[in-house]
Amino acid sequence: MIKRPRRLRGNENLRKMVRETRVDKSSLIYPIFVKDGTGIREEIFSMEGQYRYSVDQLPHGLEEVMKAGVSSVMLFGIPAHKDDRASQAYDQNGVIQRALREAKKTFPELYYITDVCLCEYTSHGHCGMLCGHEVDNDSTLKVLAGTALSHAEAGADMVAPSDMMDGRVAAIRKRLDENDFSEIPIMSYAVKYASGFYAPFRDAADSAPAFGNRRSYQMDYHNSREGIKEVLLDEEEGADIIMVKPALSYLDVVVKVREATNLPVAAYSVSGEYAMIKAAAGKGWIDEKSIVCETAVAVFRAGVQSYLTYYAKELAGYMDEGLIG
Ligand code: PBG
């Protein structure tokens, strides 16, 4: 035999030398939940090991992120008051706006991305303004743009719209530019599927829709070419980074998106992906560490530059240990 693939697998140094996928802590983004109130650090029932923090407790959560060597976070807000106008989404004293001011003061070296959506702030739990029982696209754009602007004013380094309204990237870009925030990048949740994998998040953020579902705005998971349509539109509208979400069940989409755009591509391993691993590991049926490493590398192998995951802190540790790298 002349060709023996095993020749390159016989030594650890050699295996690492010829590795095709390299991972680095600087690619990781950790999602974190901030809730109205004080003195709160409560574990999320369906997301063991993840917490909701009140603004005063948030620095403790951020300190852990820093210590792990993760340098970027994605903030989600859980307001005490929800209404049909999502008024807390764009209030200068809303939970995210206060969280940003506090976080920038205590840990200015971290990079702060904010989720821009209305579902956590509306009494009905939909991601936009309602007209009857329909989510009205165009009246929602103004509200999203105002929300993104209020985040930028409070110190957000980047905004990430996740609502899936048509034209929202353009609306946000325009509003930011008109207010001297032309340097704030937009990470678009461009290819976001209507997914059962978000269930634990909706429990965490108390944002399940009171009626119906999100299929009239989030994408049908039978489609991937439609994802490319969304990517190209968002790129034209001024998106700086394209996200695919969820991650694991959509790695084929990541591969296609990467070919279709020259923008950086991110993927988000969502709450359900986290919960599945936690639950099976808790039962002793899988080894958490090895599954977390294997799934994370799979996402990078598909071609992302950035990876949002609730396992970001652990992953950074596994990289330090040399389990992946
Ligand atoms: C807000 C939003 C959701 C997630 C991120 N931003 C929930 C949804 O669309 O229902 C899901 C994140 C996760 O499941 O971890 N629209």
Dist. CA 269 → ligand 1 center (Å): 11
Nearest residue (CA) to ligand 1, atom 14: 198
192 belongs to the catalytic site: yes
Write out pLDDT tens, residues 218-262. 999 999 999 999 999 999 999 999 999 999 999 999 999 999 999
**Domain, as residue range, for 58:** 21-320
Please give the tally of structural domains in the chain: 1
Residue 131's pLDDT is what?
Answer: 95
What is the rounded distance in angstroms from the CA atom of residue 189 to the CA atom of residue 253? 13
202 in contact with ligand 1, CB cutoff 6 A: yes
270 in contact with ligand 1, CB cutoff 6 A: yes
- How confident is the model over 303-312, as a mean pLDDT? 98
What is the rounded distance in angstroms from the CA atom of residue 325 to the CA atom of residue 305? 14
Six token digits for residue 244 = 């695919």
pLDDT exceeding 70 applies to what percent of the chain? 100
Confidence of residue 121 (pLDDT cuts 50, 70, 90): very high
Residue 182 lies in a domain: yes
Dist. CA 199 → ligand 1 center (Å): 9
Residue 46's pLDDT is what?
Answer: 96
Confidence of residue 99 (pLDDT cuts 50, 70, 90): very high
Confidence of residue 85 (pLDDT cuts 50, 70, 90): very high
Residue 13 lies in a domain: no
Residue 294 lies in a domain: yes
Residue 173's pLDDT is what?
Answer: 98
How far out from the chain centre does Cα 219 lie?
17
Residue 180's pLDDT is what?
Answer: 98
174 belongs to the catalytic site: no
CATH number, domain of 267, equals 3.20.20.70
Write out pLDDT tens, residues 184-225. 999 999 999 999 999 999 989 989 999 999 999 999 999 999
Six token digits for residue 176 = 């930011």
Write out pLDDT tens, residues 281-299. 999 999 999 999 999 999 9
- Burial class for 24, CB neighbours closer than 10 Å (0-12, 13-18, 19+): exposed
Q: Is the pTM of the predicted complex or chain greater than 0.85?
A: yes
DSSP H or E run through 51: strand 47-54
Residue 15 lies in a domain: no
Write out pLDDT tens, residues 260-282. 999 999 999 999 999 999 999 99
Residue 229 lies in a domain: yes
Dist. CA 190 → ligand 1 center (Å): 13
